[in-house]
Amino acid sequence: MPTPRRQPAYAGLAPLPRASGTSVHQRPCIGHSGNGRLRTALSLATLSAARFNPVIKTFYDRLRAGGKPAKVARCAAARKRLHLAFALVTYQKDFDPLYRQQDAA
């Protein structure tokens, strides 16, 4: 059964630890595993979404204001887009940028 947690791993957007036994060599980073074409397509689409999509723009701006580097924030936004796409396909609904605001009201 597909789950939202499996999708970023398939796309290669899940952080991979770099460890051997008990020693930790470096910080986790996204690797070259997963579907490279999907990862590239999501990354390029996220460049535009970080400027024009209100949901992704607020998320990306919040990460950047918190001190995250641009590439890290872009990868996180790409993951969020993948989760949103999974939810839209699973529940067969249209994208609604005001969805969270309707829940709060």
For residue 21, being part of any structural domain is answered with no
For residue 12, being part of any structural domain is answered with no
pLDDT band at 103 (very low <50, low <70, confident <90, very high): low
Question: What is the model's pLDDT at position 59?
Answer: 94
For residue 77, being part of any structural domain is answered with yes
Whether this prediction's pTM lies above 0.85 is answered by no
* CB contact at 8 A, 12 and 35: yes
**Closest to 16 in 3D by CA, of 4, 33, 39, 40:** 33
For residue 29, being part of any structural domain is answered with no
Mean pLDDT for the stretch of residues 54-79:
93
For residue 24, being part of any structural domain is answered with no
Residue 2 structure tokens: 């597909």
How many helical (H) and strand (E) elements, i.e. helices and strands, does the chain have?
A: 5, 2
Q: Residue 59 is part of which domain span?
A: 35-92
Query: What is the domain count for the chain?
Result: 1
**Which sign, positive or negative, has the C-alpha torsion 19, 67, 78, 3?**
positive
For residue 78, being part of any structural domain is answered with yes
pLDDT band at 105 (very low <50, low <70, confident <90, very high): low
For residue 67, being part of any structural domain is answered with yes
